[in-house]
Amino acid sequence: MPHQDTTLTPKQVAGNAAEDLASAHLERAGLRILTRNYRVRGGEIDCIALDGKTLVFVEVRLRRNTRFGGAAASIDGRKQQRIIHAARCFLLRYPRQADSPCRFDCILLDSLSADQLEWIKNAFQAD
């Protein structure tokens, strides 16, 4: 179900819509969504899902303006480290998941159109 909150900025509304599209895409592909918007001090993960026995940490990026690069360009090393930090916190908080294989995926959107969605599996690695 789409997010609806009148206190959100237009950018936040668009980000939520992108996350809704991404989650629906992952579910259609057979992944089971465990949680969305997992936040810890110093990091956030947009979506955490199970792909079989593999725990998947997903970053969703919507970048309509390509002046500074598209959606992929916005997931730089610093952003990756924040996602990795949040993933480590998740694994510490939920030790039953700690033995699962893990990967970091990115879902990239240059518009709020499902046919423009690009899913990059194993987009980056933890140290």
Q: Could you confirm whether domain 10-124 is CATH 3.40.1350.10?
A: yes
Between 39 and 13, where is the model more confident?
Answer: 39
Q: How far apart are CA 22 and CA 102, in angstroms?
A: 19
- pLDDT at position 126 is 86
Residue ranges per domain, the chain?
10-124
Q: What is the pTM of this model?
A: 0.85
Integer angstrom CA distances of residue 74 from 5, 6, 66: 26, 27, 10
Give the strand pairing for 43-51 and 102-109: unpaired
35: tokens are 């949680």
Q: What is the pLDDT of residues 72-90, one digit of tens each?
A: 556 778 889 999 999 999 9
- pLDDT at position 73 is 57
Number of neighbours of residue 89 by Cβ within 10 angstroms: 17
